[in-house]
Amino acid sequence: MKKAFVLMPFRPPFNSYYSKIYKPALESAGYDVTRADELFGSRPIIVDIHKLIKESDLILCDMSTRNPNVFYELGLAHALGKPVILISNNIDDIPFDLKHIRTIIYKTDEVEWEKELSESITKYGKEENIRIYFELLTPSIGSGKLSEIFFKHTDDINEITQAVRTSQKSYFWGTALIMHIPMLQEEIANAIDKGSQIRFLLVKPGSGALRLAAFRAKEIEYEKLNIDLLNNLDTLNALAARKSTKGKLEVKVIDYFAPYTLYLFDVGLPSGWVQARLSSLRVAHTNRPTYRLTKKDDEIWYEYHVEQFEKAWELAESHQPNGT
């Protein structure tokens, strides 16, 4: 059986959360669950904690109250390249460096919060490819396939939603972003009201580039893709028309089919990062290789992707609801 290790504060009311929510939820996902106070032995407890983190297939970390021991253990898990489910009862308890990572926020004053939290943990625990945000700090040459260091099979809408909430400047570049725009429109509106600058660059409706995109796509016809694109453009233009004294949403289209779908967050800031999903021929969206770059660690290639977006943006044209 797969193993899960829980990192959390050891005090009320969190002790009851572990026994009533965390442990049963992870067990429902197929894990044998442990936390540090269940360990017994003569060795220093940190030795056992390190061993359990290393041997576990999944880590659940409750960041509530900013417990220093919890963050130390979370750092160990990230250094070991472990998949981690992050949760917190207060978004302000999430450190700045972790705000872009998907986090389950639970509020104990809401009705059925325990049930919703349990279901969310079980759901994420059952995911076949839980996102690993940090690779091994010291990977050996023979520790795995080289491609796995660069490419992942992931497109985490929850992570992207969180990034829209926290980023000062966000750029999106895709064909039609059929899934993302409907799911993100509320977050986009809220982000604009808080002062965010957001740009969407999509393929021009009825263009040759859109026909190429439909040809390369899996299980979608050109006519349907064009309709979905127009609907998404209408949605974006409606959001852009909202009166906001702080933020701004801009929308452009281009007769060009990019080699990737691109998400850029905190553009121009030290915390900037980009996620790219490669275009493929007749391959399902979720099976397209994805890679991630940060300004801090990959500045040259990060800047390359930013420049590519900005060049395309200059060549693109504005799109209004009437198609002009």
Q: In this structure, is residue 15 part of a structural domain?
A: yes
Which of 113, 140, 167 terminates a domain? The answer is: 140
Tell me: do 182 and 282 sit in the same domain: yes
Q: In this structure, is residue 145 part of a structural domain?
A: no
Whole-number pLDDT of residue 146: 44
Tell me: do 18 and 65 sit in the same domain: yes
Q: In this structure, is residue 38 part of a structural domain?
A: yes
Tens of pLDDT along the chain (324 residues)? 899 999 999 989 999 999 999 999 999 999 999 998 887 666 677 888 888 999 999 999 999 999 999 999 999 998 888 899 999 999 999 998 888 888 999 999 999 999 999 999 999 999 876 766 555 555 544 445 544 545 555 556 778 888 899 999 999 999 999 888 998 999 999 999 989 999 999 999 999 999 999 998 877 889 999 999 999 999 999 998 877 667 899 999 999 999 999 999 999 899 999 999 888 887 776 677 888 889 988 889 999 999 999 999 999 999 765 544
**Mean per-residue pLDDT over the chain, rounded:** 86
Tell me: do 127 and 162 sit in the same domain: no
Tell me: do 84 and 202 sit in the same domain: no
Q: In this structure, is residue 176 part of a structural domain?
A: yes
Which of 140, 165, 190 terminates a domain? The answer is: 140
Tell me: do 268 and 185 sit in the same domain: yes
Sheet holding 317-318, edge to edge: 290-294, 273-278, 260-265, 169-173, 197-203, 248-254, 317-318
Q: In this structure, is residue 230 part of a structural domain?
A: yes
Tell me the per-residue pLDDT of 65-123, one tens digit each, with 9 for 90 and over.
999 999 999 999 988 888 999 999 999 999 988 888 889 999 999 999 999 999 999 99
CA atoms within 13 A on the CB side of 314: 5
In angstroms, the CA 90 to CA 1 distance is 32
Q: Kindly report the CATH number assigned to the domain that includes residue 308.
A: 3.30.870.10
Tell me: do 90 and 42 sit in the same domain: yes
Please give the residue range of the domain that contains residue 283: 157-318
Kindly state the DSSP code that residue 65 receives in the 8-state scheme.
G
Tell me the per-residue pLDDT of 140-176, one tens digit each, with 9 for 90 and over.
444 455 445 455 555 567 788 888 999 999 999 999 9
Q: Taking Cα atoms as reference points, which of 153, 23, 101, 152 lies closest to residue 271?
A: 101
Which of 115, 140, 165 terminates a domain? The answer is: 140
Tell me: do 255 and 281 sit in the same domain: yes
Tell me: do 102 and 246 sit in the same domain: no
Q: Kindly report the CATH number assigned to the domain that includes residue 37.
A: 3.40.50.450
Q: What angle do CA 299, 78, 285 make, to 5 degrees?
A: 65
Whole-number pLDDT of residue 155: 56
Whole-number pLDDT of residue 129: 65
Query: Looking at the whole model, is its pTM more than 0.75?
Result: no
Q: Per the structure, how many domains does the chain have?
A: 2
Six token digits for residue 204: 């021009």
Q: At what angle do helices 157-166 and 180-193 cross, to 10 degrees?
A: 20
The whole-angstrom distance between residue 125's C-alpha and the CA centroid of its chain comes to 16
